[in-house]
DNA sequence: AGCACA
């Protein structure tokens, strides 16, 4: 026998097989094209196309071994290489003797999608980001990610093939928005096919796999670092020191997040001393100051990844600020010192309180969710609305009453402790760790804006495109409790992330029902 | 351009 010692795995010296491995195919290559290619040599009885992370490999199986041999032999000596769509195709014997699962790859609609994320490494796209992206089309039951030879892939399980199909149609070939990715990542496009699986077997919640239907699944320790989507490496670097001041960024901010809303949420864990809101790169951020570190730690642990509103809206991401004492210059809609003598002021009763005019200087800025030492300083002058008046209510929007109900709530301190049931009109919904998915696992939440791709650049006016699913109409009163909404949440990780963040997000043009549309629920604040 | 959903 020929020596096999030290033989490289892929050589033309491989033993013949009636299965041929083809590579360097155009990624859109079809089964028909492969059959055409092989037809002169024999009968192709099976194919498997779109193989590999780049979808540029395939297998063909001839009815007879000699047919495969004749094809390989022909092209081995031919001056004309095998081609598909003008691309040279490389052939060799497969190291398997038959194709399994042949017809299923990518063709048959399934509730599970196989997603290849091109141009990234596994650490670049968190499972939360994937969840966010795919949740726009329906309840995502499970996600499993893995790295294969050539790329980072994910299996995304929906409840049914139709939902999966809508996600596939909308997202295949699209890119994940840059703002959801670490800055170093370039283009990051999705290739999506149907999986042959129908139900993923997720054994634990981790940074690689998630079962959003099972609250009892053990949580892998690696999943509890609470760093969320912001690209913290698995080595645990960039672990911020704890602080009594939390930096909050908010994902999917379809509703206003006002000072008062924030205070309501964070007050559940202790006295909120000061809050400052600012914008960074069209993203919303806020600093929340507690009297002590322990309170901040508790709040961070409990709130990280949770959504302020039911339906996946306004998901909180928390980190520790490097600040320990915010220097709030004025009390208005953007910054507030609750330790000042007028803690209960309504926004429209605010006066500009020059608490500490001389010390008016802060040095906080933030980039991409992380604070930056001393770049362009940001001062909480909160001067967007001169005179401290509320921003004007937009014309033609019936019933928009900025935060009146919130005011009432947030003036009564500590409506509940972290473990109690949340006051029904509190905006905050999912407090406790492990308090996830309190409803029956069989009840997924309503889909959010089906067909509306989070990757699309459509403006938020598409709210009105799906009236039956508009967040406004999902709430006839104050936002319903997150608990009981059927939304899975994972301690320190992502609860439901249903709605669609827009790259072009601009909260100032936001959720406005069409003229004469359904009035918003009381208690749901609006941007105006 | 090198073997098929962890």
**DSSP letters spanning A95-162:** SSSS-SSGGGTTTS--SEEEEEETT--GGGS-HHHHHHHHHTTS-EEEEEEEEETTEEEEEEEESSHH
- The 10s digit of each residue's pLDDT in A256-266 is 888 889 999 99
- The 10s digit of each residue's pLDDT in A186-204 is 778 899 988 888 899 898 9
Question: Could you tell me the distance in Å between the CA of residue A184 and the C1' of nucleotide B3?
Answer: 31
- The 10s digit of each residue's pLDDT in A27-64 is 889 999 999 999 999 999 999 998 988 889 999 999 99
Tokens of A38: 């092989």
| Shortest CA to C1' contact from A194: nucleotide | B5
* A24 contact to strand B (CB, 7 A limit): yes
CB atoms within 10 A of CB A518: 15
Tokens of A322: 């490097």
Tokens of A482: 């997150």
> Of A180, A481, A428, whose CA–CA distance to A288 is shortest?
A428
Return all residues near A409 (Cβ < 8 A) that are at least 6 apart: A264, A415, A423, A425, A426
Report the CATH architecture of A112-221. 2-Layer Sandwich (3.30)
* Residue A189 DSSP symbol: B
Residue A293 phi/psi, 5° resolution? -65, -40
Q: Give the residue with minimal CA–C1' separation from B6.
A: A146
- The 10s digit of each residue's pLDDT in A133-189 is 999 999 999 999 988 765 789 999 999 999 999 999 999 999 998 888 888 887 788
What global pTM score does this model have? 0.33
Mean pLDDT score, A419-426: 32
* A149 contact to strand B (CB, 7 A limit): yes
Tokens of A143: 């996600």
Domains A19-93 and A245-337 share a fold: yes
- Map A437-487 to HEC letters: CCCCCCCCCCCCCCCCCCCCCCCHHHHHHCHHHCCCCCCCCCCCCCCCCCC
Q: Give the residue with minimal CA–C1' separation from B4.
A: A51
User: In angstroms, how far is CA A485 from the centroid of its own chain?
Assistant: 19
Cα–Cα distance, A241 to A217 (Å, whole number): 30
- Flag whether pLDDT at A279 surpasses 60: yes
pLDDT at A223: 54
Q: Which of residues 73-102 of A touch strand B (CB under 7 A)?
A: 90, 92-96, 98-101
pLDDT at A338: 92
- Flag whether pLDDT at A421 surpasses 60: no
pLDDT at A280: 75
* pLDDT-based confidence at residue A239 (cuts at 50, 70, 90): low
Question: Could you tell me the distance in Å between the CA of residue A211 and the C1' of nucleotide B4?
Answer: 26
Tokens of A82: 């095998």
Specify the fold of A245-337.
Alpha-Beta Plaits (3.30.70)
* A146 contact to strand B (CB, 7 A limit): yes
* A23 contact to strand B (CB, 7 A limit): yes
Q: What are the residue boundaries of the structural domains of chain A, listed by start?
A: 19-93, 112-221, 245-337
Mean pLDDT score, A215-222: 79
Question: Could you tell me the distance in Å between the CA of residue A196 and the C1' of nucleotide B4?
Answer: 12
- The 10s digit of each residue's pLDDT in A326-383 is 988 889 988 999 997 764 454 433 333 333 333 223 333 333 333 333 322 333 543 3
| Shortest CA to C1' contact from A24: nucleotide | B1
Homologous superfamily of A19-93 = RRM (RNA recognition motif) domain (3.30.70.330)
Length of chain A: 528
Cα–Cα distance, A363 to A376 (Å, whole number): 8
Question: Could you tell me the distance in Å between the CA of residue A149 and the C1' of nucleotide B2?
Answer: 11
* A19 contact to strand B (CB, 7 A limit): yes
- Flag whether pLDDT at A103 surpasses 90: no
* pLDDT-based confidence at residue A428 (cuts at 50, 70, 90): very low
Strongest mean pLDDT among A82-91, A276-285, A430-439: A82-91
Cβ proximity of A70 and A41 under 8 Å: yes
């Amino acid at each position: 026998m020929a020596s096999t010692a030290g033989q490289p795995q892929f050589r033309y010296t491989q033993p013949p097989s009636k299965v041929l491995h083809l590579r360097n195919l155009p990624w859109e290559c079809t089964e028909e094209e492969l059959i055409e290619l092989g037809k002169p040599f024999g009968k192709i009885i099976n194919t498997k196309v779109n193989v590999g992370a780049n979808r540029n490999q395939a297998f063909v199986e001839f009815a007879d071994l000699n047919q495969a041999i004749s094809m390989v032999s022909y092209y081995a000596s031919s001056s004309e290489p095998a081609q598909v769509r003008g691309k040279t195709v490389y052939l060799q014997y497969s190291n398997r003797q038959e194709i399994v699962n042949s017809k299923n790859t990518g063709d048959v609609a399934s509730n599970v999608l196989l997603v290849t994320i091109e141009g990234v490494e596994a650490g670049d796209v968190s499972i939360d980001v994937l969840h966010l992206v795919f949740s726009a089309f329906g309840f995502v039951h499970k996600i499993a990610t893995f790295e294969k030879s050539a790329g980072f892939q994910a299996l995304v399980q929906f409840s049914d093939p139709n939902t999966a199909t809508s996600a596939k149609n909308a997202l295949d070939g699209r890119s994940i928005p840059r703002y959801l990715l670490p800055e170093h990542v370039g283009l990051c496009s999705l290739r999506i096919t149907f999986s042959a699986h129908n139900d993923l077997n997720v054994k634990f919640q981790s940074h690689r796999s998630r079962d959003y239907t099972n609250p009892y699944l053990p949580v892998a320790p690696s999943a509890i670092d609470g760093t969320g989507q912001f690209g913290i490496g698995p080595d645990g670097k960039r672990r911020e020191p704890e602080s009594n001041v939390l930096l909050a960024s908010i994902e999917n901010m379809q509703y206003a997040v006002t000072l008062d809303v924030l205070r309501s949420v964070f007050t559940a864990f202790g006295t909120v001393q000061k809050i400052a809101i600012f914008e960074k790169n069209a993203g919303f951020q806020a600093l929340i100051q507690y009297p002590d570190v322990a309170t901040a730690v508790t709040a961070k642990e409990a709130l990280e990844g949770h959504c302020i509103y039911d339906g996946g809206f306004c998901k909180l991401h928390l980190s520790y600020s490097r600040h320990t004492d915010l220097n709030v210059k004025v009390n208005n809609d953007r910054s507030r010192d609750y330790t000042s003598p007028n803690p209960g002021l309504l926004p429209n009763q605010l006066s500009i309180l020059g608490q500490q005019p001389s010390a008016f200087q802060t040095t906080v800025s933030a980039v991409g969710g992380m604070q930056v030492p001393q770049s362009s300083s940001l001062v909480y002058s909160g001067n967007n609305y001169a005179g401290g008046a509320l921003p004007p209510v937009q014309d033609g929007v019936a019933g928009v009453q900025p935060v009146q109900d919130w005011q009432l709530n947030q003036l009564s301190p500590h409506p509940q402790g972290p473990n109690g049931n949340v006051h029904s009109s509190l905006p905050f919904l999912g407090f406790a760790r492990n308090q996830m998915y309190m409803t029956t696992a069989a009840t997924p939440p309503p889909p959010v804006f089906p067909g509306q791709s989070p990757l699309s650049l459509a403006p938020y006016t598409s709210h009105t495109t799906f009236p039956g699913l508009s967040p406004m109409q999902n709430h006839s009163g104050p936002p319903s409790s997150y608990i009981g909404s059927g939304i899975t949440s994972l301690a320190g990780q992502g609860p439901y992330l249903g709605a669609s963040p827009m790259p072009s997000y601009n909260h100032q043009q936001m959720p406005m029902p069409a003229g004469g549309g359904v009035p918003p629920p009381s208690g749901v604040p609006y941007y105006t």
